Amino acid sequence: MRLAAILLAAVALSSGCRAGKAQPGDPPAASSGKRDAAALEATVSGRSSEVPKALRCHAAWPMPNLSGSGLPHPQSYDTSDPDVVLDRVTGLSWQRVVMTSVYNHRQAIDYCGGLTLAGRHDWRLPAIIELASISDTSRADPAADPVVFPNTSSLAFWSSQTDITNTGLGWYVFFKTGGVHVGDDVTRFRRVRCVRGPASCTDPEVNPYSVTEDSVHDDRTGLTWQRAFAHDNYVWQDAKTFCSKITSNGGGWRLPSVRELLTLVDVTRFEPSIDSSAFPNTPIEFFWSSSPSLAPAGTAWGVNFTRGSSGAAVVTSQAHVRCVR
């Protein structure tokens, strides 16, 4: 199956779009908006103030992996507070039980900026990589741990960021599947879960990578990546085998989880949505992760580096591979 078919499958499986009038919380449809790549005015909120979208929001901590996956940094939560969940891996504190109310993007920023919870006043709307860190793709409808985050809606949740080419479109996580997407009109009404803790957004001149000829080390997540992607495309099982057989630089390579692969996404970049200095010639196509998808059967997660959205594709499709260790 060609990559075009993979991308169609990824969109269909991860967004769950359906015909009819849009309702609050529905998966998004493409919408119009003023296109202006220079107008980087999306927000990373802190109270009611705004920070220019030119700030790069990057995982500033090891990315938690799903419990039982056998991967580094298994997720671990402190749920002793009924109102707040502490992520022991990232250091982020999350609003545990969310309001049933829905908000447009501006309202979502203001809601978190004005929230007082557990005696703290420094809540904010999460960056997309922060929200992706609690998306549990081993579950569905909702893709969230029901003990840690009880009664989570299966609908879309806003992040603080908007599209680099159209600030009228927002980034969000669709918690029916756990997919990370962009393309939702900022005037639409979505759910909100606020966060507080170490900021993930920095000046774009702050480079998190240490680059060699063959590899890129992420100084924040601790992951080391192949600098060049594999020349050949692979079906999912062969992609995992390919990475495991690499012996260069001491071996230990593997196919990344979808959460890990999302740490490479830079939503301040477009076509490709990745640092092209660190990862040159990255195609604007689908890359496999090691994370299986629950539904439908026979699919697995990956990331499309056109914009940086995640989605699922059938495992017999061929797609790109970039290994990690």
Query: For residue 199, which amino acid is it?
Result: A
Query: For residue 123, which amino acid is it?
Result: W
Q: What is the pLDDT of residue 182?
A: 96
The whole-model pTM stands at 0.86
Distances in Å between the Cα of 53 and the Cα atoms of 28, 57, 61, 147, 266 are 22, 9, 20, 34, 11
Q: How far apart are CA 115 and CA 119, in angstroms?
A: 10
CA 245 centroid distance within chain: 28
Q: How far apart are CA 286 and CA 236, in angstroms?
A: 12
Q: What is the pLDDT of residue 284?
A: 98
Q: How far apart are CA 133 and CA 220, in angstroms?
A: 15
CA atoms within 13 A on the CB side of 58: 25
User: For tokens 């203001």, what's the residue?
Assistant: 110
Query: For residue 192, which amino acid is it?
Result: V
Q: What is the pLDDT of residue 55?
A: 66
CA 230 centroid distance within chain: 23
DSSP assignment letter at 257: P
| Angle at alpha carbon of residue 129, lines to 72 and 133, rounded to 5° | 45
Q: What is the pLDDT of residue 21?
A: 37
**240 φψ region: left (φ > 0), alpha (ψ -120 to 50), beta (else):** alpha
Q: CB–CB of 111/194 below 8 Å?
A: yes
Distances in Å between the Cα of 268 and the Cα atoms of 57, 219, 225 are 9, 20, 20
Q: What is the pLDDT of residue 205?
A: 73
Q: What is the pLDDT of residue 206?
A: 80
Q: Domain boundaries in the chain?
A: 209-314
What does the pLDDT look like over 154-193, one tens digit per residue?
999 999 999 999 999 999 999 999 999 999 999 999 999 9
**217 φψ region: left (φ > 0), alpha (ψ -120 to 50), beta (else):** beta
Low-confidence ranges of the chain (pLDDT < 50): 1-54
